[in-house]
Structure formats: structure tokens, C-alpha cells
Amino acid sequence: MKNLAEKKLKSAIVDPRFSKIASKAWKWVPIKAGTDGAFALAMIRWIIENKRYDAKFLAAANKAAAAAAGELSWTNATWLVKADGSFLRASEVILKEHMPDGKEVERPLASKEKRTTKDGKEWEFDPFVVLSNEKLVAFDPNDTKNAVTGDLFVNTKVESFDVKTGLQLVYESAASHTIEEWAQICGIASEDIVEPAREFTSHGKKAVADPHRGVSQHTNGFYNVLAVYTLNAMVGNWDWKGGLIKATTYAIDGSKDGNPFSLDTMHPNKIAPFGISIIRHGVKYEESTVFEGYQAKRQWYPFSSDIYEEILPSIGDAYPYPTKILFSYMSAAPYALPGGQTNINVLVDVNKLPLYIANDIGIGEMSMYADYIFPDLSYLERWEFHGSHPCIAQKVQPIRNPAVAPLTETVTVFGEKMPLSLEAMLLGIAEKMGLPGFGKDGLGEIIDLRRPEDFYLRMVANVAAGEAPGDEVPDADEEELRVFEQARRHLPPTVFDPARWKAIVGEKWWRKVVYVLNRGGRFQNYAKTFDGDKMKNKYGQLINLYLEKYAKTKSAITGKKLSAVATYLPIADVHGKEIHDEKEGFDLHMITFRDVTQTKSRTIVDDWLSAIRPENHIVLNTADASRLGVAEGDLVKVVSKSNHAGEWDLKNGRKKPMVGKVKGVEGMRPGIVGFTLGHGHWANGSSDMVIDGKRVRDDSRRATGVHANAAMRLHDYLQNTCLLDPVGGSVSFYDTKVRLLKQ
């Protein structure tokens, strides 16, 4: 924002909605929702054909070559790829040599090597291959001594193999349409692609493409994001000031040299995770014990981790196994997810989910269906280690610790009095079950785990210690110690006891822990962030433009292989069938966005925020409003192919219509309609509740406005879940076509 104000920053915002940042941009590109990948590929085509890419960066095939080129990271742009999708390996290239005696001898370009991992496991390394000045060269991507560069664009034959470079395959994907055709897909003029591409490549490495949220939350989200990151590789901006950087945090788990508490290894009887998760992540379908051929009952996600929208629908389908107990923490899945009403169907079905236990700060849109609710603490009452985000160049670790006395009741666990919370619940379960790793000497001799701070203060000590010996923070002096205790004198001993806290980390680390907590965490000095124009907190690794493991992976639904490079896929279901609900009269494309006063499902409880904007609106272009015959303030109902009734069925005898007030604006692409998250609640205090026979009256302000997630498109095949990205697993917030009915 500082650079914007000082005219040092030029930004192009690609978004169907004229956001606040778009209002400050050099260029706003109002593309059709879901065509982000097409836009990025069009830029890539223009950049390659106009030779505006960083050839030196892309040519480096290994770490040594990157260092020789003055780079910190390198790519696989030049690695040779066979027609079957796998990389060409050196042992597959057979060279013929004529010996002095006239005999012909065959030998591989390079032989396989036996190597050993850090934990002593043996594996076999087969070098990769590039074509460098028309000569085949074998190499190790992590070699720090022998620099290898390759030709960027190769389409040839090596022995019996048809081979291409990774960058050649990227170009072919980008060249599958002309710039004009890509522009037509995006619903914009071709100059809206060319101008940003020219500007993007006019500043060396001081340009960056950021794919945030709306780019990924489509059925084609993974490849949209891959296309945008491939754009960054075109200008070689990884690890450079003004380019693409990674989030860097101080370690909290004790994994760094010099950390005093190795929390990840201190557990005396640690059990490794086993089996398949309910969301089937990290496992290939065909390698699982439940493989039954294609198509699978539900999609599998071998390269993803947090497939939030799959949890309850998978429980509902008992796939890959039935579930008896569900624990949730701070969850509002029915409200927060597209098509969240399908989650309610599972939550109320005791045959599919016999026991549901929630940990929540209130009775929310999900926890209202729980058999038991354990109260949790608010953000000012609890510990939290926030980590970082790639927009922060410094190494940081913000740490929140209790600032006010909790409102929950006091409980006794392991003989210790503490506020009821998530941690107290977990400790209580551990005590009841006699689990190892908890209680007195739980983490080792005289290392107890009986209270939340037994764990959290040791995490703070690890942050204070830094990354290696000599990286510790200073000791807090006497004045700092006084300030530390005075600032917490209002807290009860169940939360803060300085003598107990000091005993947890010991004399050596106590003053350093105080030093960190007094500052709300640890934050690297700005001067230590950069090394000239390079980042000190570097990524410094291989960047894959070509994803071999994706080329070797099949969709669990279709059995077809995944694309290994950035590509454009139209909005479709898990079978790849395009969705065209507009042909059935649903003529508006619905998106959702956030307003600064309501950013989460739980922010509605803050009265001072609600007072600023008591309700939200159904926002659309004034031309669409005129065409539909609606004026500002008119009430309309949102209906879709998945929800003709235009309502939430709460399965408790109540139904909540998706009705909101119209607001016409110029800053929305025609054909797009949107609403903000945060309003239109049916729980979180928005309706009466009976607790222990006592009626707690509602705050009706929390029910105002509209929440239209229940209109978002459900999957025809999966049926009980929303549209989703079958590769990356993102939910689809932005692919639903709706109709507005005037009330």
C-alpha cells in the first residue's frame, strides 16, 4: 500500500468483481469467473513467442547451474520427458562405442547409483537427461559441483523414445489456442492479455503473479494455480526482491539445532498414523486395499491434504469405511461450505454418525447438531502460534498468549485446575484413557504434560532459541520481568503463575521466553531479510514446471491420467463433463466475496462490526438489475439447479429462505451476481436456544441479510457434495449459475 501511494507499484487485478484493490490498480481485467488458467496460459504463450522469458534461469537444470547463473532456485524446464509422461533416465540411453580392436560396445549414458537416505535406507538414483547444444548430458538435480544447462525447447527422438522438454510441453499447452481464442474464452479483449504480459516482463525479476483464493476455488483450480506459478517461472522471480517469496517461520517443534525441547520426538510411545484417511488424501486409489476398478465411489486426492468438503459427505457414504465418532474443532461446515446443507443431512443421521462431539466457542451452525459441546476459549483467552504468509519477507513467529481471564468454568485434570478449553478436553480424555505421553513425566523424566502451558511454553522456548546455537534472543532484564508480571497481574492462577511458568522452561530459558512473549512473538530484523536483491529466507530448491508424478497418476473416477503441466480445463464435474446450467434458465454466474466487517462465519457475534453494516446484499451489475426489473432494495430469492426451493432445510423443522436485498453496481462484470460472507445466520445466537431448561433469547440482528451457499451447485454423480476440483481438492465457490426471483 505504501508503494501504491508513492506510485512505485503497478498492479493488474484479474477479477470479475471491481474490488477495493482493483480500484487502485493500473488495470482491472474483469474476466469470466473460472477462466484464470486461460488468462495465464495466454500470457505464457505471448511471453514465449516474444522471447520475454528469463532463458538463463530456465536453462539451469541443477543446483550447480543455478549457482553459476547467480540464482538460488532452478527448474526442470529443460529435462527430457518421454511420450509416456515419465522423465528420460540416463540408464535408458544406450551409447555405442567402437573399441580399438574394432568391436562395438554398448553402455548407458550413465549408470544407476546406490544411495543412502539420512535414516539409513538405501535407494537407487538414475540420473536425468537434458539435451545441451544437441548433446545428451546426464545430471543430478541436486549436484552442487557439476553445472548442467539444457536446451529449452526440444521435440525430437532419442533412440526409440520421442522426447520433449518440460518447457516445450508448457508451450504446447499455451499454444493450444491463439491469443484471440484465449481472450474469447475469458470474455475480454486480446489487448487485456497482451498489455499485462508486456508489463509483467518489463521489470526483470521485480514482478510477481499472485493466485489468491478465487483462482483456486473452481473445478479447474489446481491447474489455474499451476498456470499462474508457471508465469512466475517465466521471469525467474523465485527468491528475488520484488518477486515470489516463501513464508518463513521460527521453528516451534524443536526440530532445529539448538532448540531445547524436541516436542516431535519427546513422546515415549509415539504412534505413527496408519491406514487411509476418510478424505482419501496422500494415497493413490489403485494402490489402496479398497481398489475396485474405475469409477471409484468418490474421488481420491493423492497430492492434497485438507479436503474439508469431503469429510461429512464421505461419512455419509461410509466411504472408504463407516465412522462411529466425529470430533470437530471450531468448525462451521454447513455454513462455510458450498452446498453446506448436505452436511446437515449427515449430522442429523445417527445411523451414519452415531456420536458427534464438538469443541466450539458457541453454539454454531455445525455444533448445534452435536451430542456434546465442550466450550472453548476466545482468541484473547488462549494460546496461538500464527506462523506466517508469503507476503511477509521476514522470518517471524507471532505468539498470542492469554490476555484476559476465560469465561469458561474451571475444571481439574491431572490434579491441576484450568479453564475448560480444547486443551483441557484433550488432557481429560488422555487422563481417563491412561494414554502415554501425558501427565506426570509424560514427555520424559521430570517433563510433565498436565497443563496447556506445559506444551506451549516449551514451544516459546524453541522460538527464543532460534535456528542454531548463537541465534538466541537476549535475556529479558529486570524491568522487562517487572512489565511481564504486571501486565498479567489480573489473570487468575489457573491461567498465569509466574513461578510455575518459569519451572516449565527452566532458569536458562525463562528470561528469553519473557523477552519473546513481551513482544508478542519473534520477528526478524528487516535488515537481515535481504542479501542485495536476493532473499535470505530463500526457497532455494527445484521448481517443477513439469509434474512427473501427476503424469503417472490416474483420476479415481475416470481412470484417465492427469495433466503434468499447466493446462486450461473448462468448468466441469469429476468426469470432465462441462456444466452449462445457463441452458436451463439459470442466467447469472454467482460468486461470493468478503467484506472487511464480516470476514468469517463467526464475526457476526461482534456487535460493533454488525453496526457498521447490519446486512449484506445480492450484488449485481446495474444492467442485469434493469434487465430483471429489480431496483435497489428489492427482495429476491436465489435459486439454482441444485436448490429450486431457494432455501436452507435445517432438518429441525425450520427452513430459511435465501432471500436478500438487491444492490446494483457498475463494478461487477455483467452476468455475475455475488454476496458477502458473514450474514444470514440461523445459529450463533441468531435464534432462541433452550439450555438446561432455560430459554436464551436470540439476537435477531445475526439472522439478517442472506447467505446463499445452499444454492451452490451440487455434484450430479457425488450428489451429497458441492462441485470441487478433482485434482487439488478445492471447493467450488465460484462455478454456480443461479436465477433471481423477485419476492
What span, in angstroms and rounded, lies between the C-alpha atoms of 223 and 238? 19
How many helices (H) and strands (E) would you count in the chain? 19, 34
Q: Write down the pLDDT at residue 100.
A: 82
Q: Write down the pLDDT at residue 602.
A: 86
pLDDT at residue 459 tops 90 = yes
pLDDT at residue 532 tops 80 = yes
User: Is residue 564 exposed (0-12), middle (13-18) or buried (19+ Cβ within 10 Å)?
Assistant: buried
What span, in angstroms and rounded, lies between the C-alpha atoms of 616 and 589? 18
The pLDDT tens digits for 295-343 are 999 999 999 988 999 999 999 999 999 999 999 999 999 999 999 999 9
Q: What is the mean pLDDT of the chain?
A: 95
What span, in angstroms and rounded, lies between the C-alpha atoms of 442 and 447? 6
In the predicted model, what is the mean pLDDT of residues 493-508?
97
In this structure, how many other beta carbons lie within 10 angstroms of the beta carbon of residue 689? Answer: 15
Torsion from C-alpha of 528, 533, 539, 545, nearest 10 degrees: 170
Sign of the C-alpha dihedral computed for residues 602, 607, 612 and 618 taken in this order: positive
Q: Write down the pLDDT at residue 101.
A: 78
Q: Write down the pLDDT at residue 214.
A: 87
pLDDT band at 105 (very low <50, low <70, confident <90, very high): confident
Element (H, E) at 169: helix 166-174
pLDDT at residue 102 tops 80 = no
User: Please, what's the b/e burial string for 476-487 (b: 16 or more CB within 10 A of its CB; e: otherwise)?
Assistant: beeebbeebeee
Torsion from C-alpha of 726, 731, 733, 734, nearest 10 degrees: -20
What span, in angstroms and rounded, lies between the C-alpha atoms of 511 and 73? 39
pLDDT at residue 279 tops 90 = yes
What span, in angstroms and rounded, lies between the C-alpha atoms of 364 and 341? 14
pLDDT at residue 373 tops 90 = yes
The pLDDT tens digits for 423-452 are 999 999 999 999 999 999 999 888 999 999
Contact 659, 628 (CB under 8 A): no
Alpha-carbon distances, residue 120 vs 117, 299, 398, 618, 740 (angstroms): 5, 35, 36, 60, 63
First to last CA, the chain: 42
Collapsed DSSP state (helix, strand, coil) of residue 205? coil
Element (H, E) at 313: helix 311-317
Torsion from C-alpha of 719, 723, 725, 729, nearest 10 degrees: -70
Could you give the angle at the alpha carbon of 575 between the alpha carbons of 573 and 580, nearest 5°? 40
